[in-house]
Amino acid sequence: MDLDVTLIAQFLILVFLLVTLNGILFKPLLGVLDARQHEVNGVKSDIERLTEASAADIEAYQTRLREARDIAQRERDTLRNQGRDSERKLLTDARSEVARTLSSARERTAKAESAARAQLQPQVVDLAKQIAAKVLGREVNG
How do the domains of the chain map onto residue ranges?
A: 8-136
CB neighbour list of residue 129: distance below 8 Å, 6 or more residues apart: 140, 141, 142
pLDDT in tens, 95-108: 999 999 999 999 99
For CA atoms 66, 67, 71, 77, the dihedral sign is positive
| Mean pLDDT, the chain, integer | 91
State yes or no: pLDDT of 1 exceeds 60: no
pLDDT confidence tier of residue 2, bands split at 50, 70 and 90: low
Predicted confidence at residue 140, as pLDDT, reads 74
Report in angstroms the alpha-carbon separations of 86 from 35, 79, 90, 99: 75, 10, 6, 20
CA 34, 38, 41: angle at the middle one, nearest 5?
135
The Cα–Cα gap between 21 and 27 comes to 8
The Cα–Cα gap between 78 and 90 comes to 18
